[in-house]
Amino acid sequence: MLQLWLRSLIIGLSIAAPVGPIGLLCIRRTLANGRRAGLMTGLGAAFADGVYGAVAAFGLSAVSAFLINQQNFLRLGGGLFLIYLGQGILRSKPADRAAGADRIDSSTSHSDLGMLFSTFLLTLTNPMTILSFIAIFSGLGLAGGVTSHGLAAPLLTVAGVFTGSALWWLMLTFALSRLKLLSKPDNLIWINRLSGLIILVFGIMAVWQGFVAR
């Protein structure tokens, strides 16, 4: 069982590690608002990874088929939200933090749960992640659901995936929080512009793909 948990942890870590729009959002929030803001962003993604891991581990083919069939609409929704995030970050001012404004950016909630939930929903708009989990789980003999593995194995698999994903975001936010130089207002201006622009491009690409694939 320990070996199963460790393999699942590595899967969660490897899926969370590539830098995409969620990674950029986590980096920007950590540098602009501190480690707690970045960690809540990362945990939202980790919970979404756990949900998709559960779909794959428990063999919920009906759920995965529905999400994959609706991927164009999900991609459109996620793309529009990324555009909203990107333009909000581009317009944000680092001085707001120094003035005591406890904001993450103009497009997110002020609360920790708001940051977590918004990132959770944004991560869920990429149902193709399910295919990644199914492919990896099948290769390791972990896919197939409760009937072939018993209840403990899928639960342990989901726990490992969540732990691996959360571990990545914890390491990333801790490392970024030590980079005090990047948190200076002058540097944050360029970080906001660059990360906002890249997130905006990700959003436009997602919307375009959603329309083209229809």
Reference 89, options 42, 26, 46; nearest CA is 26
DSSP, residue by residue, 67-129: HHHTHHHHHHHHHHHHHHHHHHHHH--THHHHTT---S-TTS-SSHHHHHHHHHHHHHT-THH
Rg of the chain in Å (alpha carbons):
18
d(CA 161, CA 15): 9
Q: Which helix (H) or strand (E) holds 66?
A: helix 61-69
Q: How far apart are CA 137 and CA 142, in angstroms?
A: 5
Length of the chain: 214
The residue ranges of every structural domain in the chain are 2-212
Q: What does the block give as tokens for 143?
A: 């896919």
Tokens of 66: 């529905």
CB 122 within 8 A of CB 41: no
Q: What does the pLDDT profile of the chain (214 residues) look like in tens digits?
A: 677 788 888 888 888 887 788 888 888 888 878 888 899 999 999 999 888 888 877 776 667 677 767 777 877 888 888 888 888 877 776 544 433 333 444 444 457 888 899 899 888 887 667 777 777 666 666 555 544 556 777 788 888 889 999 999 999 888 887 776 665 666 667 777 787 888 888 888 888 877 776 5
